[in-house]
Amino acid sequence: IKIINILDRITQLRLERKWSEYELAKYSNITQSTISTWYRENQLPTIKSLDKICSGCGITLSQFLLKMVMRFR
């Protein structure tokens, strides 16, 4: 089992949609500076922010978390 980092998962979602950080911020109703701070200072977003990211990407928080654990056969 491989567990991926929350910030890596957010990046994965953003790239799957071919979005810039700006677009992710716009669709998620979060400031771009907040998202940049997460990466620059290696901070974790709050659950409320994660929920906004998920809504902006059209997925549930449960779907987000489920994909963080990837099983290899």
Per-residue pLDDT of the chain (73 residues; tens, 9 = 90+): 555 689 999 999 999 999 999 999 999 999 999 999 998 988 889 999 999 999 999 999 999 988 877 654 4
CA distance 3 to 23: 26
**45 with 11: CB under 8 angstroms?**
no
Predicted structure pTM score:
0.85
The DSSP line for 6-44 is: HHHHHHHHHHHTT--HHHHHHHHT--HHHHHHHHHTTPP
